[in-house]
Structure 1
C-alpha cells in the first residue's frame, strides 16, 4: 500500500468502464464491479458484529468457557486489523485482483470451517483464517475500487456505496446475529458468510481486471523493482497486533492485568519504531510524505473516530436494550434494523451533499450530527427508553454515513493511482482499527462504572444504566472534539478551491 518518494510517474492502465452519456452515471459493467467489491466489504463488516449475540450459544455448544468467549471475536479482529497494511503492500506489488481473490477464497473456506467447527480450537483457528482473509480482501478491494472509478462524481458515488455498506454490514450483523441464532442456531451466522463469499467468487474473476502497474503499461516504461520494507512490516504488524490484543482483552479483564499492560507498552514502542524506520528507509511501507498531506491525515482521524464511536454506541445500546430493558436478542436486533435503514439513507445522499458542501465540510457536519445524537441518548431511563435508542441512534447513523463517505473522499482525493494503494490502505486500516478499539475502550469504562455502582448498593439494571450513560457521554464528547479538530485541520471555514473542500 505504500509508495516511495522515488516511484516512477507512470500510472496503472486505465480500468475505468466506458461512462454513460450522463455525467457521473455508471455503466452496467461498472455497477457490477461495484456490486462485487462492495458485497465483499459488506461480508467483512458483517463478520465483525454477527457473533456478538451468538457467543453465549456458541460457547455452550462447543464448550468454550465464559472467560474465553471474547476470543470468538478477538481471534478475527487481531489478524484482520494487524495485517492490513502489510497485505495491502503485497497486493500493490503482486496484483490487487489476485490478492483479492486469494483472500476471498481463504475467507469463504475459513467460514465453512467455522460453520462445522467441532471444538473451541477448530473454531478459533477458523476465525483466525477468516481474519487473515479479511486483511487481504479489504485493502485490495478498496484499491481496486478507487483505481477503477475516476476521481470526481463517479468515485464519490462508489465510495458512498462502499462506506454505506461497511457501516450497514456492522449494524445488520447485530440484527442478523440475533435472528439467525434464535431461529437456526449460531452456526447459521457463519454459514451466511459461506454463501456470500461463494456468490462473490462466482462473479469476481470475470469482472475484475488487474490494477497493478506492469511493464509496458500504456506503452510506458516498466516501474523500478520495489521491495517490501521488512523492518517496517514487522514493526507495524507487531504494533497493531499488540495494540488490538490489549484493547480487546481489556474489555473483559480491565487494563490492570499484566498481559494487557505489557501489550499496550509493546504496541506503543513498536509503532514508534515504525515511524522512525519509515522516516529513514528508501522504500517505506507507508510514505510519510503522503501522510503529511492535510487531507490524508485529518480525513483518517475523522474516519477513525466516527467508526470507533458509532460501533461503541451500537454496543452500549445493545447492552441497554438487553440488560436494562430485558429485550430478547431478536427484538434488540430489530431495533438496529431501523438504524440500518437510516444508515442506508445517509449513505445514499452523502455523495450529493459532499458535491455541494465539499467533502471536508460534510465530514465535519456528519461528526457533529453523530455527536449531538449520541449525547441525546444519555437521556435514556430504566423503562421505556427503546424509542430514544431508535430515534437518536438512527439519526446518529445518518450523520455517521455522511462522515464515512466524506472521509473516504477526503483521504483519497488528489492522489495518483500509484498512491491509491497507500491511501486506501490507510482508509481501510482506519475502518478496521476503529471498529476494533472503540468497543473495548468504552465497554471497559462502562464496566468500571457498573462495578462501582453495584458496590454502592444499586441493582444490576440501574448500575448497567449508569455505566451505559457514562459510556455514551464520553462517546459524544470524543466525537464532538474530533469534529472541531477536523474543522480546524482542514480549514473548513475557507472557501473551497474546488467542490471537494
Structure 2
C-alpha cells in the first residue's frame, strides 16, 4: 500500500501483513466477478511471497551450477529483496498517479519476463539481473495490488475477510516456497523454481486485464523523487558494502565508501522527509511510540528470521550434507509451525495485548535461535526441526503483534500511512538480515579454514556464530521494545 495521505484506510486490527488462520473462509455474499478479482489479486501476492523463499534451499545447487561463490550466495535472495523493498514506497505513489490497475499489470508483466531471464540464466550476472528485475516487478505488484483490494471491497466485514484471505495466502506462499524449493530442485534442478514463477505470472496475466478496473486517488499526488532516490540509494550502498565485506573484509575502500554513503543517504532521507509536503514516509506518524517501536520489532523479527533460514540452509546442505529435497521437507515442517503460530496469534493478542505478544514472540524467537547454536557436525537436524519450528511459531506471534501495534492509537486518516510503513518494514527486513549475518558467518568460515579446519567444520563454526549473534540481537531488541512500549503505556 502506498504511504500517502490518500491511501485507503484499514482498521488497526487487520493490517495487510497480519496472517490469517489457515482455515479462514473466503468472503461470502460476493458476486462471482468479485470473487474472481480477489483470486487474481491474491494469486499475484502469493507468487511474490513464494519468490521470497523458494530459492533459499536451492542456493547451494544454484551457486555450484552458475559459479556463484559461497560468500555471494545471499545475493540470490538479496538481489530480489532489495529493489522490492527499496522501490515499494515510490511505486505506491506512482500507482496513485498513473492508476493502480495499470501499474499492477506492468509489474506483473515485468515479474513474469524477469522470471524467464532468471530461469534461462547462463552465468551469475544474467541470473542476478533477472532477480533484480523480479524485485522491481514485485515492488509494483504489492502496493498496487493491496490498493486495488481495499478499493474493490468496501470497508467493514467484506474488506476484513478479503484482507484475511490475502494475509493467509501471503503466509502460505512463504511456507510453500520453502517446501517447493527443495522438492523442485531435487527433482528438476534449481531452474524449475524460477520457471514456476513464469507459469504463475502468465496465468494471472491472462485473467487480470479482463477483471480489474482502474483505480486512482481523486487528487493528483506529488512524487517524492528525492526521498525515493535517497532511501533506495542508501539501502543499495549499505547492502553492497556488507555483501562485499562478506567476501573481502571491511578494509576495502569500496566497502568503506559504501558504508559511509549509505549512512549519509539515509540521513539525507530523514531530512528530506521532514521538509516535504507529501513525504514517502511521514515522520510525524513515525514519531508515535507505538508506530516506532512496533516497526522496530517488525524489522528485527523479519530480518533475523530470514537470516536464520539462510544459515540453517548452509548447515543442512554443507555440514549435514542433506539433499535439497530433504532440506525442503525440513523447512516445510518449520513452515507449518509458522502457519500454526499465525493462526493462534490473534487469540494470544486478545488475551495478552499486542505489545506483550510482540515481546513474547521476540523472546521465543531469540531463545529458540540460541538453542540452535548447539547443532553439531555429526547431528543436529532434529534441533533445527524442533527449535526452528518453535522459533517460527514465536516469529508469527511477533509479525501479527507488530502489525497491530504499529497501527494502533492512530486516527482513521493516518491508517494508510501506518499500514504502508508496516509493508515497508517487512520488505526492508527481508532485505537486510541475510547480508549482515552472511558477512559475519563468511568471515568466520574463512578464518577457520585458514587455521586448518575442514570445509564442513569451518562452515559449522560460521553458522554457529551467525545464529548466536542473531539470538543476541533479537533478545536485545525485545528488551528495548518492552521498555519503549511500557513507557508509552505509563505516559498515557
- What TM-score, normalized to structure 2? 0.84
Residue 27 in structure 1 maps to residue 31 in structure 2 = no
Structure 1 unpaired stretches of 5+? 17-23, 215-222
Quote how far apart the aligned CAs of 1:336 are: 0.5
Q: Which moved more, 1:141-150 or 1:189-198?
A: 141-150
Residue 437 in structure 1 maps to residue 437 in structure 2 = no
Quote how far apart the aligned CAs of 1:352 are: 2.9
Q: Matched residues in 1 for 2:70 and 2:378: separation?
A: 29
1:354-383 CA-partner distances (Å, limit 9, x unpaired): 233332222222112111211221222222
Q: Cα 1:158–1:256, aligned 2, differ >3 Å: closer, same or farther? A: farther
1:288 aligned partner: 283
Quote how far apart the aligned CAs of 1:182 are: 2.2
Quote how far apart the aligned CAs of 1:190 are: 1.0
Select which of 118, 123, 132 maps to 1:128: 132
Q: Matched residues in 1 for 2:336 and 2:272: separation?
A: 44
Aligned residue pairs total 477
Q: Matched residues in 2 for 1:206 and 1:154: separation?
A: 22
Quote how far apart the aligned CAs of 1:315 are: 1.5
Select which of 353, 365, 376 maps to 2:348: 353
Q: Cα 1:78–1:485, aligned 2, differ >3 Å: closer, same or farther? A: same
Residue 137 in structure 1 maps to residue 137 in structure 2 = no
Quote how far apart the aligned CAs of 1:55 are: 4.3
1:390 aligned partner: 385
Residue 193 in structure 1 maps to residue 192 in structure 2 = no
Q: Cα 1:138–1:150, aligned 2, differ >3 Å: closer, same or farther? A: same
Q: Matched residues in 1 for 2:234 and 2:393: separation?
A: 33
1:3 aligned partner: 4
Q: Which moved more, 1:269-278 or 1:194-203?
A: 194-203
Q: Matched residues in 1 for 2:353 and 2:156: separation?
A: 11
1:485 aligned partner: 480
1:179 aligned partner: 183
Q: Cα 1:255–1:112, aligned 2, differ >3 Å: closer, same or farther? A: same
Select which of 83, 86, 93 maps to 2:90: 86
Quote how far apart the aligned CAs of 1:270 are: 0.7
Alignment of 1:357-372 (within 5 A): 357-372=352-367
Q: Matched residues in 2 for 1:85 and 1:171: separation?
A: 26
Q: Matched residues in 1 for 2:90 and 2:111: separation?
A: 17
Q: Matched residues in 2 for 1:279 and 1:104: separation?
A: 33
Quote how far apart the aligned CAs of 1:56 are: 5.2
Q: Does the 8 Å contact 2:74/2:435 carry over to 1?
A: no
1:25-56 CA-partner distances (Å, limit 9, x unpaired): 83264776655444333322322333344345
Select which of 242, 248, 256 maps to 2:251: 256
Residue 406 in structure 1 maps to residue 410 in structure 2 = no
Q: Matched residues in 2 for 1:415 and 1:306: separation?
A: 23
Q: Matched residues in 1 for 2:35 and 2:246: separation?
A: 40
Quote how far apart the aligned CAs of 1:161 are: 5.7
1:270 aligned partner: 265
1:282-337 CA-partner distances (Å, limit 9, x unpaired): 22222211111222211111111011111111112122222222222221111111
Q: Cα 1:300–1:95, aligned 2, differ >3 Å: closer, same or farther? A: farther
Q: Which moved more, 1:141-150 or 1:250-259?
A: 141-150
Q: Matched residues in 1 for 2:156 and 2:472: separation?
A: 33
Q: Matched residues in 2 for 1:477 and 1:404: separation?
A: 19
- What TM-score, normalized to structure 1? 0.83
Quote how far apart the aligned CAs of 1:11 are: 6.7
Residue 50 in structure 1 maps to residue 54 in structure 2 = yes
2:467 aligned partner: 472
Quote how far apart the aligned CAs of 1:132 are: 0.7
Q: Matched residues in 1 for 2:151 and 2:412: separation?
A: 6
1:123-143 CA-partner distances (Å, limit 9, x unpaired): 443222211101112233344
Q: Does the 8 Å contact 1:95/1:211 carry over to 2?
A: yes
Q: Matched residues in 2 for 1:480 and 1:66: separation?
A: 28
1:376 aligned partner: 371
Q: Matched residues in 2 for 1:316 and 1:474: separation?
A: 12
